[in-house]
Structure 1
Amino acid sequence: MDTELARTFLTVIATGSFINAADRLHVTQSTVSARIHSLEEQLGCTLFIRNKAGTTLTLAGAQFHKHASTLVRTVEQARQDVGIPSGFTGAITIGGRFGLWDQFLLDWIPLIQEQAPRISIRAEIGFEPDLMQGLIEGRMDIGVMYSPQNRPGLTVEPLLEDRLILVSTTPDDPPEPGSRYVYIDWGPEFYVQHSASFPDFTGAALSANIGWLGLNQILRHGGSGYFPERLVRSIIDDGHMTHIEGAPEFNLPAFIVYPSKSEKNYLALAVEAVRTVTAEK
């Protein structure tokens, strides 16, 4: 069976519809439909029920789900095993969300290298949909993110809680978004909390989907924005920004996601290393 068909099947499940799957895979909707149709012909059953709300798995589709995950994961595992650099006995792929690598995951990699020096590490950065897709397909072994999805075969474990505070290059800024406020998209949880705290906020002149982009924009040209305190504490201490007292603060939990079962015996070591770094931070 072509693993591309199984991969498309998993993407439809992850995104909830053929249209969203096509966007994620960067193909047309007709291509997704053709792949699913080909898969259904090979299996001799219907996998999805399509309706206005999206797609729903049939009983056969639900049963095939675990086999598709195993198939894709096995192929990806084989690719990683074959591609292990000379001198190493294994490989692991770690993915983190924008904003979680800084001052956290960068300290994680040296710890893994110290404890397992013969394990090759591939580090990736991305947003939740891409990280979850990599975990579902088996291309990624560990993901650290703010808003994970619960998926069969994956363990989602609370890791840390970021405290987002309003900072500004102007000390007397009001405790609310102003004319030079930069809105940082920290994910759906932040959006809900932000909207509840600032119901009259209609949008910022400048928005950014990456924290470091918004932070550097503010530092260079002035302004304000919400950032994890751990990222801006040293900047505040140096006097380049001010923590705006009285402004609402938001808690943003981060999670570690990894396969519930894995043949990589060093995966547990890597996960424990994440917990150790988190405890130290």
Structure 2
Amino acid sequence: MQIELLDCFLDLVETRSFHRTAERLGVTQSTVSARLQSLESAVGARLFSRSRAGTDLTTEGLRFESHARLMRRDWNEACRAVAPSGDAALTLRIGVQNDLADAYIGDIIRDFAHVFGQTAFYVEPDYSSQMCRDLVSGAQDFAVMFTPHPHPDLHFVSLGDVIYRLISTEAQTRAQIDPASYISGNFAPAFEQAHREALPELIGAQLAVGQSTTLASLLQAMGGTGFVMADKAAELVATGRFHYVSDVPAIGQPIYAAMHLRTRATKSRRKMTRILARRFNTPLTSRD
């Protein structure tokens, strides 16, 4: 069976639209229809029903979906298993939340490499939603992220929090913050909610960014006020140009390890999770 048929089917499961799936896959609607017909012919059942109300999975399609996900994942794993990786016996594809990459990626991969001999690592900073999709499809093996996206094929483990501190070139108290020079950090939904509760008067800032490193660079170039990761905040405060905003509490952003449900009990996933739990110093709790 061609993997393109499974990709087409699984994309249709998400979009329920032949037009949208064609756009996402970069093919024509007739190609999508042809691929679906080929798949239905191969499995001997109709997988979708089309009507004016839309496109829906048939009973057979619902039964086939979980098998399709597993087949696509197994295919991706098989391709990676035979891909050249030098002298390494194993390749692990690791996703790391963009905002964690600058401060933590070196230490994380160093710790992993110390434990996993003869292992090659492919590391890609990304956002939580894309990493979850990559874990489901088998394009990634393990991820460290801010925002779990619930999915029946995914397993999440809470690791702890990273801390953000509010610093400023001009304000030492909340009352002194100038909204016109405030830079909002849109790092993740949990952070945004905590920020909204802590500083409701600063909602709707003129400038907002999605990474702590970028926000720190903007503060250094332009001045102003904003949340950055605690280590970077301490570094900037040490220069003498920045101050902590003393009466605004730090905000903690939860971190999670994520993996496919089928691999959660493997030694490699358990070891990686323990390494990360020690680094972030928190007891482990699971979210299935």
TM-score range, shorter chain: 0.7 to 0.9
- TM-score normalised by L of structure 2: 0.80
CA distance in 2, matches of 1:163, 1:246: 16
Deviation at 1:217, TM superposition (A): 1.2
Q: Percent identity between the aligned chains?
A: 18
* Local SS of the residue matching 1:85: coil
Kept in 2: contact 1:182–1:223 (CA 8 A): yes
CA distance in 1, matches of 2:18, 2:242: 44
Specify the alignment match of 2:7 in structure 1. 7
Kept in 1: contact 2:17–2:55 (CA 8 A): yes
Specify the alignment match of 1:211 in structure 2. 212
- How do residues 13-92 of structure 1 correspond to structure 2 at under 5 angstroms? 18=17, 22=21, 25=24, 27=26, 30=29, 34=33, 37-38=36-37, 39-40=39-40, 42-43=42-43, 44-47=45-48, 58-92=58-92
CA distance in 2, matches of 1:22, 1:209: 28
CA distance in 1, matches of 2:22, 2:166: 34
Kept in 1: contact 2:213–2:228 (CA 8 A): no
* Local SS of the residue matching 2:181: coil
Deviation at 1:204, TM superposition (A): 2.2
Kept in 2: contact 1:107–1:277 (CA 8 A): no
CA distance in 2, matches of 1:21, 1:86: 40
1:272 aligns with 2:236: no
* Local SS of the residue matching 1:100: helix
- How do residues 191-210 of structure 1 correspond to structure 2 at under 5 angstroms? 191-201=192-202, 203-210=204-211
Q: Bigger CA drift: 265-274 or 136-145?
A: 265-274
Residue type matched to 1:140 in 2?
Q
Residue type matched to 1:169 in 2?
T
Shift of the 224–273 alpha-carbon distance from structure 1 to 2, 3 Å rule, reads same
1:136 aligns with 2:136: yes
Kept in 1: contact 2:81–2:90 (CA 8 A): yes
Larger Rg: 1 or 2? Answer: 2
Report how many aligned residue pairs link the two structures: 278
Residue type matched to 1:145 in 2?
M
* Local SS of the residue matching 2:157: strand
Kept in 2: contact 1:170–1:223 (CA 8 A): yes
Shift of the 203–67 alpha-carbon distance from structure 1 to 2, 3 Å rule, reads same
- How do residues 145-160 of structure 1 correspond to structure 2 at under 5 angstroms? 145-160=145-160
CA distance in 2, matches of 1:101, 1:72: 28
Kept in 2: contact 1:161–1:252 (CA 8 A): yes
Residue type matched to 1:268 in 2?
R
* Local SS of the residue matching 1:125: strand
Unaligned residue ranges in structure 2 (runs of 5+): 283-288
Find runs of 4+ consecutive structure 1 residues off by over 6 angstroms: 48-52
CA distance in 1, matches of 2:229, 2:49: 41
Deviation at 1:115, TM superposition (A): 1.6
CA distance in 1, matches of 2:74, 2:212: 35
CA distance in 2, matches of 1:32, 1:247: 56
CA distance in 2, matches of 1:251, 1:194: 10
- For residues 29-67 of structure 1, give each alpha carbon's deviation from its aligned partner in whole angstroms, at most 9, with x where no partner exists: 947964774445654223478998x98755433322221
Q: Bigger CA drift: 259-268 or 31-40?
A: 31-40
* Local SS of the residue matching 1:165: strand
- For residues 168-227 of structure 1, give each alpha carbon's deviation from its aligned partner in whole angstroms, at most 9, with x where no partner exists: 122446455621111222122223333344445452222222221121111122122122
Specify the alignment match of 1:227 in structure 2. 228
Question: Counting helix residues as a fraction of each chain, which structure ranks higher?
Answer: 2
Q: Bigger CA drift: 19-28 or 90-99?
A: 19-28
Specify the alignment match of 1:256 in structure 2. 257
Deviation at 1:150, TM superposition (A): 1.9
Deviation at 1:160, TM superposition (A): 1.4
Specify the alignment match of 1:112 in structure 2. 112
RMSD: 3.4
* Local SS of the residue matching 1:261: helix
Shift of the 93–237 alpha-carbon distance from structure 1 to 2, 3 Å rule, reads same
Q: Bigger CA drift: 238-247 or 54-63?
A: 54-63
